[in-house]
Structure 1
């Protein structure tokens, strides 16, 4: 079965937003959990705004360099419960364990 780039890109964004919401909220954590390349993770986080998902980086208290975590502030029109309910299918499309 062939999956379109549009569908896989959409599902990747949903999956990354879900993971951030579940506490896997740093690029290194996403890389370790999913095995995706760093650039893919960074680009996916950046592109969440295309879906009206508001994702903000929260710098750790008292840190001067860029340490902290991402937080989903707003889901826009996306139903995060649908993502949770369909996680197995989403991961299958993305070929993630």
Structure 2
């Protein structure tokens, strides 16, 4: 029996994955699109929603040549994300 992940779980994992990518240098929307295959709007909406789980993400630089940075992870354990990255990707 295969469990289908809930929308809540996929939304949470999407946030963790995008925050992880930003923190590891894949820090622009076009780069994240190439890495994940996600649509631009999904990525933009996900970045905006990171603060809902206490991940602070800021945009650095000008509109055309700037990038995102994670400045605070809140209660999220970055090591857990790294250790479970393949599972996160599989769920998504």
Over the aligned positions, Cα root-mean-square deviation in angstroms equals 0.9
Q: Distance in 1 between matches of 2:21 and 2:64?
A: 20
Q: Does 1:26 align with 2:25?
A: no
1:78 pairs, out of 48, 62, 76, with: 76
Query: Tell me, what secondary structure is at the counterpart of 1:71?
Result: strand
Query: Tell me, what secondary structure is at the counterpart of 1:24?
Result: coil
TM-score, normalised with respect to structure 1: 0.89
Residue 88 of structure 1 is matched in structure 2 by 86
Residue 47 of structure 1 is matched in structure 2 by 49
Q: Which aligned runs of 4 or more in structure 1 are off by greater than 3 angstroms?
A: none
Query: Tell me, what secondary structure is at the counterpart of 2:57?
Result: strand
Q: Distance in 2 between matches of 1:68 and 1:93?
A: 30
Query: Tell me, what secondary structure is at the counterpart of 2:45?
Result: helix
Deviation for aligned residue 1:66: 3.8
Deviation for aligned residue 1:52: 0.4
TM-score, normalised with respect to structure 2: 0.94
Q: Distance in 2 between matches of 1:21 and 1:53?
A: 11
Structure 2: unaligned runs, 5 residues or longer: none
Q: How many residues align?
A: 90
Q: Distance in 1 between matches of 2:54 and 2:5?
A: 23
Q: Distance in 2 between matches of 1:33 and 1:15?
A: 11
